[in-house]
Amino acid sequence: MSKAAEIERNTPSLALYAPRDASRLVARVTSVDAVGLEERAASLGRRSIKRESKLWALDLAIRSMDLTTLEGVDTTGRVVSMCAKAVRPDPTDVTIPSVAAVCVYPQLVPVALGELKRSSVKVASVAGSFPAGLGPLGARLAEIREVVDQGAHEVDIVLNRSQFLGGRYAACFEELAAAREAAGEAHLKVILEVGELGSYDRIRQASVLAMAAGADFIKTSTGKIGSSATLPSALCMMEAARDFSHETGRRVGIKVAGGIRASKQAVQYLTLVYETLGPEWMAPDLFRIGASSLLNDILMQINKERTGRYQGPDYFTID
Least distance in Å: CB of 237 to other proteins?
12
Cβ distance to other proteins smaller for residue 43 or 311: 43
Neighbours of 46 (CB within 10 A): 9
Cβ distance to other proteins smaller for residue 95 or 307: 95
Task: Report the C-alpha dihedral over residues 70, 71, 72, 76, rounded to 10 degrees.
Answer: -80
Among 15, 95, 185, 318, binds other proteins (CB under 8 A): 95
Residue 295 binds other proteins, judged by CB under 8 A: no
Site string for other proteins, 21-60 (x = CB under 8 A): ---------xxxx-xxx-xx--x--xxxxxxxxxxxx-xx
Residue 308 binds other proteins, judged by CB under 8 A: no
Helix axes 263-276, 231-248, angle to 10 degrees: 30
Residues 151-190 that bind other proteins (CB under 8 A): none
Does residue 50 have an active-site annotation? no
Least distance in Å: CB of 278 to other proteins?
9
Least distance in Å: CB of 43 to other proteins?
8
**43 three-class SS:** helix
Does residue 189 have an active-site annotation? no
Residue 281 CB partners (closer than 8 Å, separation 6+):
238, 241, 251, 253, 254, 273, 274, 287
Per-residue CA distances from 267 to 50, 64, 143, 173, 258 (Å): 10, 12, 34, 33, 15
Per-residue CA distances from 116 to 83, 109, 175, 260, 294 (Å): 7, 10, 31, 24, 21
Q: Which stretch binds other proteins (CB under 8 A): 94-102, 175-183, 208-216, 253-261?
A: 94-102
User: Which residues contribute to the site for other proteins (CB under 8 A)?
Assistant: 1-4, 30-33, 35-37, 39-40, 43, 46-57, 59-60, 63, 87-88, 94-98, 118-120, 239, 246, 270, 274-275, 279, 282-283
